[in-house]
Structure 1
Amino acid sequence: MAMIKTVGRSGQIALGKEYAGRHVLIDQPEPGVWIIKLGTFVPDNEQWLLEPNTQQELDEAITWAEQNPPQPSNLNDLAAQIEA
């Protein structure tokens, strides 16, 4: 459904209360043409989490952590191993 909206003095367009708080992607394929899409977006500094190899490594790490619960450790023994 097409809508006609007026751009306010501050350069804003109201999309409606049903979209309040939602993230939108605004694409401008050419001057004066905008495509607005609702969605969930990943911040730039978290994009690496979506790379295929990273996802596989994370899955493997989670599986390992589930199969190997934490155990008490002696930091003095660990320091001795590092120094040796």
Structure 2
Amino acid sequence: MGVVIDHQVIKSIGSSGQISLGKEHAGRQVLIENPEPGVWVIRTATVIPDNERWIHTPTVKKNLTAALAWAEKTPAKASDLSKVKISKTHGAKRKA
């Protein structure tokens, strides 16, 4: 593991330039900042794919929060399928 000194750990960088942070962090993504030579700040991070970034916008977050609040206070009820209108194009292939 290395020598622990007041929440700090002394480790050696291997000949391949790697350092182990421990198996408990295996598979995690991290941000590595280099604010000055010889100084690294390593923080765990969660990366959001570009095609999912839209869901984290303030408007969508607000709408999702409202929808979830409505769902929590509104009891589920059975639908009368005989009253549901089905579009004539339902199941038909649509032009792009």
TM-score (norm 1): 0.57
Determine the structure 2 residue equivalent to 1:6. 14
Q: 2:66 aligns with which of 53, 56, 60?
A: 60
TM-score (norm 2): 0.52
CA shift for structure 1 position 16: 3.6
Q: How many residues align?
A: 78
- Structure holding more strand per residue: 2
Q: 1:70 aligns with which of 52, 69, 76?
A: 76
- Structure holding more helix per residue: 1
Q: Distance in 2 between matches of 1:46 and 1:55?
A: 13
CA RMSD of aligned residues (A): 3.3
- CA 1:65–1:16: 2 relative to 1, 3 Å: closer
CA shift for structure 1 position 71: 0.8
Q: 1:43 aligns with which of 48, 52, 62?
A: 48
Q: Secondary structure of the residue that 1:79 maps to in structure 2?
A: coil
Q: Distance in 1 between matches of 2:82 and 2:68?
A: 28
- CA 1:13–1:7: 2 relative to 1, 3 Å: farther
